[in-house]
Structure 1
C-alpha cells in the first residue's frame, strides 16, 4: 500500500490517510441529499439520483486517488446542477436526457483540451500573484459556504447578507463545530476537523438538527445511467439534439468555462493544504488530476447526475493530514457504501461541517501575505479574484473578473507586453462567457 501511494514519503501514515478520507467524505456528504433535491426539479427520480450521485462520486474519487495519487475528491458540482435543472425546462423541452447530453459533450471537449495540453498551458500562463489570489478567494468562498450552511450568515433584511438567528438550532450547531475544531486545532490535536464534525453531529441530536435515519439500506437504482444516449420524444438520441442545436452548444461552452477554471482553483487550493504546490504556485503533477476531472465531467452526464467535478471541500481532508491518493480512495469507498446506506449518511447535517470549512478558509487566507498590495497591477486583480469568487458565489466568475482586471490594469500601466498570449485568450474567453452565460 505504501509503495503505491507513497504516503510515508509525504510525511503521512495509513491511519492519517484513512482519517483524512473520512473527514473529506463527511464534509462532502451533503451532496447526497442536495443533488437529488436540485435535479428532481428536472423530473428525474429522486431515489435514482441519490444512488447515482453516490456511485458517480465514489468511482471518480477512487480514480482520482489511483491515477493522480493526490487527496482530491469528486462529486456532482453545485451551481452546474442548478443550471441543468434550469435548461431542462427552458431549452431542452422538459427532457432531462438532453440536458445530460450537454454535460456529456462539455466533458468530452474539456478532456480533449487537457490531452492537447491547452488546459495546462493556460494554468502555466497565469502570473504567480494571481495564483495566490485564487487561494485567497477560495478561502473566503469555503468559509462562506460553511457559515451559510449553518445559518450563521443569511440573507439580510434590506441588505445582501446579515447575521443569522443566534438562537437557531443550526446556528448553535455551526458555532459548536467552529469552537471544537479551532480549539483542537490550536492544540495540534490529530483529526481535529473530523472530531469537530462528529461533536457537532452529536450536539445536533437534542437540538433537532441531526435527524434520525429513515432507514438503513437503500436499494440500488441505475435508471439514470446512459442518459445522453436515450431516445427523446421525436426518436432521436439526446446527444444528437445537443450537437444540432446552436443554443445548447452555447450552454455547453458556458459550462466548459465554469468547469475549466473551477477545477484549476480547487486544485491549487488543495495543493496548498496538501503540500504539493510549488514555490512558484504550480500544482505538482497536474496533468493526471485534470484528465480524471475531465473524464468525471463526461461521466456525470452519462450517469445522469450533472457534471462531476473536483470538490473544494477536499481541502478539509488535506488540512487534516491527507497527502496521497489513499485519502481519495477512502473517500470514494465511503461514497460507494453510501449508495447502499444513504439514509444513515444523511444524518450528517451541513451545519455540522461548518467548523471544518471555516478553519480551512482561515488556513487558505494566509496566502494574502504573498501578494504585493502596493503594486496596483498585482493588488487590484488579486482583490477582484478574492472578492469576486466569494461575492458572486462562483469560482469561475471570480477568476474571470480578476483575469480581465489584470489585462486592463496592465494596459494602462504600460505592462501589456508582460501579458502572456494565453492570458489574453483567457481574458477574452471570459468576456464572451459573461455575455453568453
Structure 2
C-alpha cells in the first residue's frame, strides 16, 4: 500500500475515491425513482431533484468530515439503506416519501444522541481486536465481490438453481473490465503511484473508444456510460429538499414505526463502525488496541449525515467503504475528503461528465482495494477457535448476504454464544451482551413485525 505523500497525493487519492463512488450520483436517483421497476415506475422521487440532493449531501458531508476529523473518510447516500427506504418503507408499507425520509431523519437523530453521550464510541472500543480485524477482512471481501458483480464478471443466472454464475465473456462491458483489471493489477504489482486512478481513467477511455467503434457488441447498461455526453452542464433541482412528514406514527402505529426506525438505525450504526475499522486498519490510523483517535468527530459527522440525508430527501448518508480506494492511493488526511466533497458539489452542475465512467472501469479498483484489506487476515489468532470462528463467520456473511451489518451481527452473536456456552460470560464486555441481544432482535424483526400487524 503506498504511503502518504503530500498534497499532490491527497488530491490524486481524492480524485480516485470520487471516481470509484461516482456511481451513486445516478444509482441513488434510479433506486429512489423506481427507474425500470414494473408497477412502480413514475411513483418514485423525481430523478433530477434526487441527483441534485445526492451530490449536495455527499459534497457537504465529505467536506465536513475532512475538516472535522482530518481523515480521508467520505460520505454519500448509503446503498442498501436507499433500497430499504424505497422498497420496504414506501412500496411495502405504503408510507409517503416525506414520511419515509422522516424515518431516516429520526434514526439519524437517535444515533446523534448516542454519539453525544459517547455510547457509540464506547461500543466501538468494546469490540474485541480479533473481531475488528475480521470486520476489515470481511469488508474487503465484500467490496471485491461488489467489484466482480457490478462489472458483470459475476452474475445472477436467469434460470437454474445456482445463486451466481460467470458473466458473458464475449460481451463488450466484460471485455473492458478484464482488460482494465489486468492493467490495474499490473500497475499495482509494479507499485506505480496512482495505479488505481490510472486504471480507472485508461479503462474509461478504452470503454468510450470501443463502445463507439464496435456497434455490434452489446453496450453498457448504465445511461450515459462509456459515451461522450451530449451536454456538459445541468442545472441543479432542489425541489424535494426539506420535505418531512411526522404522520408516519399515525400511519403505521407507534410500535411498527419504532421497529422501522430501529432496523434502519442498527444497520446505519454498524455499517459505519465496520467501515471506520476497515479503512482505519488499511490506513494505519488505529492504535495498538484497534481504536481510532478522534473517532468521536467521525461518528458525529456520520450521524448528522443520516439526519441531513433524510432532510434533503436523499436517504441516509453514511461513511463509504470506497474511502479505502483513496487510502490505497496514499490518502492520509482530510484533504482527500475535501477534494471528494468539492467534486460532488461540482457534479450538481456537471453530472453528465460523471455519468461517462462505467462500472467496469471502477470495478478493478474495488477488487484491488479488497486485495489490500485481506492482509488483516494474517493478524487474526486462528489457533484460538473461540476468536477465530466468530471472525470467520463475520468475514463470510458480509459478502454472502451483501450486508456489512449482517456480517457484524452474525459475528457478534456467534462470539457471545460461544463465550457464554463455554462458561466465560464474564469475559464479555456488558456492551457486547447488549449488542448481541440487539442483533437477535434485528434478525428476528420480520417475525416481530408480522406479529405486530
Work out whether 1:24 is the aligned partner of 2:14: no
User: Which residue among 24, 29, 33 is the counterpart of 1:40?
Assistant: 33
- Does the 8 Å CA contact 1:177/1:356 hold for their aligned counterparts? no
For residues 117-266 of structure 1, the aligned pairs below 5 Å read 117-156=118-157, 157-208=160-211, 209=220, 210-229=226-245, 237-238=246-247, 245-266=254-275
Q: RMSD of the TM alignment (CA)?
A: 1.5
**1: CA distance, partners of 2:249 / 2:439:** 27
Superposition pairs of residues 377-392 of structure 1, within 5 angstroms: 377-392=386-401
Q: Residues of 2 paired with 1:58 and 1:15: CA distance? A: 20
Is it true that 1:69 corresponds to 2:70 in the alignment? Answer: yes
Secondary structure of 2:108's counterpart equals helix
Q: Distance in 2 between matches of 1:160 and 1:11?
A: 41
- Report the equivalent of 1:284: 293
The one of 296, 302, 309 equivalent to 1:300 is 309
Aligned to 1:274: 283
In the alignment, the residues of structure 2 paired with residue 238 and residue 20 of structure 1 have an alpha-carbon distance, to the nearest angstrom, of 44
Match of 2:318, SS?
Answer: strand
Q: Which runs of 5+ in 2 are unaligned?
A: 35-42, 212-219, 221-225, 447-453
CA offsets 1:23-64 (integer angstroms, 9 cap, x no match): 000000000110000001252111100111011100000000
Q: Is the 8 A contact 1:316 1:360 kept in 2?
A: yes
TM-score (norm 2): 0.90
Instruction: Tell me, yes or no, if the aligned pair for 2:143 and 2:367 is still in contact at 8 Å.
Output: yes
Structure 1 runs not aligned, ≥5 long:
1-9, 230-236
Change (3 A) 1:140 1:242: farther
**TM-score, normalised with respect to structure 1:** 0.93
Would you say how many aligned residue pairs link Structure 1 and Structure 2? Answer: 420
The alpha-carbon deviation at position 162 of structure 1 amounts to 1.5
